[in-house]
Amino acid sequence: MSLDAEFERLSLPLENAFTISRSTQETSENVVVRIADDDGNVGVGAAAPSDHYGETAATVEAVLPELLDVVESVGDPHQLDRIERRMEATVARNPAARCAVSIALHDLAAKRADLPLYRYWGLDPDESVPTSYTIGIDTTERMAEKTETAVERGYSVLKIKVGTDRDEEIISAVREAAPDATVRVDANEAWSPREAVRKIDRLAEYDLEFVEQPVSADDPEGLKFVRDRSALPIAADESCVTLADIPRIAGKVDIANLKLMKCGGLREAKRMIHAARAHGLEVMLGCMVETNAAISAAAHLAPLLDYADLDGSLLLAEDPYEGVAMPDGEIDLAGLDRPGTGARTK
């Protein structure tokens, strides 16, 4: 069998500027990968690199020819372990680039089996969890308005970005706009450990689900300090990048937040999920701001999760791809009527 591959870069405007405690994003640079077999099946994947982890669209484009040479040299999309091992040996520090290839291969392998990816893996769609919808930092009034809009669109789980000098004011306004919603917050490393404990103690009064990455990823003991004193469960995001990080955060947080673009692919994500469970952690799967060419693959992991934050494509002004339907935030795997990840051009 021979495999042919190609890729292209997409610059995708966001519906609204997306601000977290350390940066603002107005467009998302994605690199879409397509891998075709001799029978006309085409697998689609995408990279959504983050410069916070040392990757850009330019670095993805630079290493993809080497990664796709690996794919073509193996020549069998069902040899997923072999290909991903060789890709990591070839390019170790570009996980989003490897992830794009991993997604495209899984899409292709499942299409060749004529099965949706979750069925190819043997997962139960009834065990899926809903995705949250993220509200980025803005004026308090705008964040309240965005919250009202999200609730009107049917989203019942909201993730609120914090890390400002008015965090309590923001959460108070959000809770007033969405009194019945499940609300979680994400500080993106913005607080010191003692500041985090004080802020969480106050924010807990607003009936929050958990707090994500309250302190720097470079301060694991600070993370433990917060968790030991927190009124709310603590999730690790920036502190949880690869499989090796799972034992490092065990006992320091309650929830491991994985992202495909951080760990390098679907098989590594599954290993991280099982490792997190073995270490007594709950599991969340997050995302960057991504097209459905990537988000759709992540959605097939939903039956293995406790929490999902897979709203990346929902934050785009327009996504050229459609994928797994998420009506009112529910990840509808059972409703998928085509094989593979479900990603296809509109």
Q: What angle do CA 327, 316, 314 make, to 5 degrees?
A: 20
Query: Residue 111 class from Cβ within 10 Å (0-12 exposed, 13-18 middle, 19+ buried)?
Result: buried
Give the residue extent of every domain in the chain. Answer: 4-114, 120-345
Distance CA(309)–CA(50), nearest Å, equals 17
Distance CA(232)–CA(211), nearest Å, equals 7
Q: What percent of the chain has pLDDT above 70? A: 100
pLDDT (mean) for 260-265 = 97
**pLDDT tens readout for residues 12-54:** 999 988 999 888 999 999 999 999 999 999 999 999 999 989 9
Active-site residue flag, 161: yes
pLDDT grade for 202, boundaries at 50, 70 and 90:
very high
Structure confidence at residue 39 (pLDDT): 95
Place of tokens 């669109």: 153
Specify the pairing of strand 321-322 against strand 344-345.
antiparallel
C-beta of residue 176 within 8 angstroms of C-beta of residue 141: no
Structure confidence at residue 183 (pLDDT): 98
Distance CA(311)–CA(287), nearest Å, equals 7
Those residues with Cβ within 8 angstroms of residue 10's Cβ, 6 or more apart along the chain or in another chain: 29, 30, 31, 32, 291, 320
pLDDT grade for 181, boundaries at 50, 70 and 90:
very high
Per-residue burial over 60-73, b = 16 or more CB atoms within 10 Å of its CB, e = otherwise: bbebbeebbebbee
Q: Alpha carbon 182 to chain centroid distance? A: 19
Give the number of residues written for the chain.
346
pLDDT (mean) for 185-212 = 98
Q: Mean pLDDT across the chain, nearest whole number? A: 97
**pLDDT tens readout for residues 102-123:** 999 999 999 999 999 999 999 9
Distance CA(41)–CA(158), nearest Å, equals 37
Q: Is the pLDDT of residue 58 over 90?
A: yes
Pick the catalytic residue: 186, 189, 209, 254? 186
Residue type at 16? N
Structure confidence at residue 23 (pLDDT): 84
**pLDDT tens readout for residues 233-249:** 999 999 999 999 999 99
**pLDDT tens readout for residues 302-331:** 999 999 999 999 999 999 999 999 999 999
Pick the catalytic residue: 237, 238, 309, 319? 237
Place of tokens 């694991």: 220
Lowest pLDDT segment from 21-30, 148-157, 185-194, 317-326: 21-30
Active-site residue flag, 212: yes
Distance CA(342)–CA(336), nearest Å, equals 7
- What DSSP designation does 344 have? E
Structure confidence at residue 22 (pLDDT): 85
Question: Of the CATH numbers 3.30.559.10, 1.10.3720.10, 3.30.390.10, 3.40.50.300, which one belongs to the domain with range 4-114?
Answer: 3.30.390.10
Quick count: other Cβ atoms within 10 Å of Cβ 27?
15
Active-site residue flag, 186: yes
Helix %, strand %, coil % for the chain, to 5? 40, 25, 35
Pick the catalytic residue: 37, 259, 309, 311? 259
**Residue 88 belongs to what H/E stretch?**
helix 80-90
pLDDT (mean) for 143-163 = 97
Place of tokens 């999730």: 235
Structure confidence at residue 140 (pLDDT): 97
Domain 120-345: assigned CATH number? 3.20.20.120
Active-site residue flag, 111: no
Pick the catalytic residue: 212, 238, 245, 290? 212
Active-site residue flag, 259: yes
Pick the catalytic residue: 111, 146, 159, 161? 161
